[in-house]
Amino acid sequence: MNTPLALYEEILLLALDDDKGTTAIDGMHNTAMGGAILAELVLLGALRAGRTKKDPIQPVQGVCVDDPLLAECLEKVLEEKKPKKARHWVQKFAGTKDLRNRVARGLVAKRVLSEERDKVLGIFPRTIFPENDPGPEQELRARLKEAIFTGTSRVEPRTLVVVALADPTGLLKKVFDKKKLKERKERLKKITEGQVVGAATKETVEAIQAAVLVSAIIVPVVITTST
């Protein structure tokens, strides 16, 4: 499978149970995907993050993107009359209708996942997305492992963004041993604070991670209240 994956697709791969094809009910994978969409648009040059995490996200005029989901989200930014901070857009993108299934079906089209139907308790129908091709996730996990558990100073920006999004939303704990992650606390801090990348990526990661951290606090509260 040679088709490159979008950041939000990589996030979903980490969130999905490979065999069951399901995600946790806490919704944090959606928050992480919202951050990934924002990061992708910044890395593509369609949006520009401010010099600090408090600055609003600014659209870059004349930049088009081919990805339908990214194009839809970019259009939302372009239609906004007043510039909004990263937190607003992370939550807005995370709330995209049917986001998980849309992203999963994109991965089905790329033959990374398969789409199946089953029933919860033999009664309630649902759609699940078991892994079909483990290669892309294995490659992603290898990148994350090198970034977190070695002292390499060359962390590719896209890998750094995945780490910065997967850490506060708890997705890293689905991939690696919690105790081992705790031992790499300082390394994770260096990565997520942008100490191993250039200034431009650092500003982007800081803004987006700050937004995700806020959402990571808000989302479970909203879900608990709704329940």
Which amino acid, residue 119?
K
The token duo for 117 is 């139907």
CA angle 212, 215, 221 (to 5 degrees): 150
Gap between the Cα atoms of 178 and 158, Å rounded: 23
Q: Is residue 123 within 8 Å of residue 13, measured between CB atoms?
A: no
3-class DSSP state for residue 114?
Answer: coil
Gap between the Cα atoms of 11 and 92, Å rounded: 17
Q: Using DSSP bridges, classify how beta strands 47-48 and 116-120 pair: parallel, antiparallel or unpaired.
A: unpaired
3-class DSSP state for residue 208?
Answer: helix
Q: What is the pLDDT of residue 194?
A: 62
Q: What is the pLDDT of residue 219?
A: 38
Q: What is the pLDDT of residue 226?
A: 30
pLDDT in tens, the chain (227 residues): 456 899 999 999 999 998 899 998 777 899 899 999 998 998 899 998 877 667 888 999 889 899 999 999 999 999 999 999 888 898 899 999 999 999 999 999 999 999 999 887 778 888 999 999 999 999 999 999 999 999 887 888 889 889 988 988 889 999 999 999 999 999 988 877 766 555 445 666 766 776 666 555 443 333 233 32
In the chain the domains, ranked by start, together with CATH numbers, are: 7-226 (1.10.3630.10)
Closest-CA residue to 173 (of 29, 7, 6): 29
Q: Is residue 9 within 8 Å of residue 186, measured between CB atoms?
A: no
pTM: 0.86
Helix runs in 80-119, H state only: 86-94, 99-109
Question: Residues 6 or more apart from 44 whose CB is under 8 A from it?
Answer: 63, 65, 70
Gap between the Cα atoms of 150 and 144, Å rounded: 10
Q: What is the pLDDT of residue 208?
A: 72
Cα torsion 206, 210, 216, 222: sign = negative
Q: What is the pLDDT of residue 218?
A: 40
- Rg of the chain on CA atoms, in Å: 17
Q: What is the pLDDT of residue 68?
A: 96
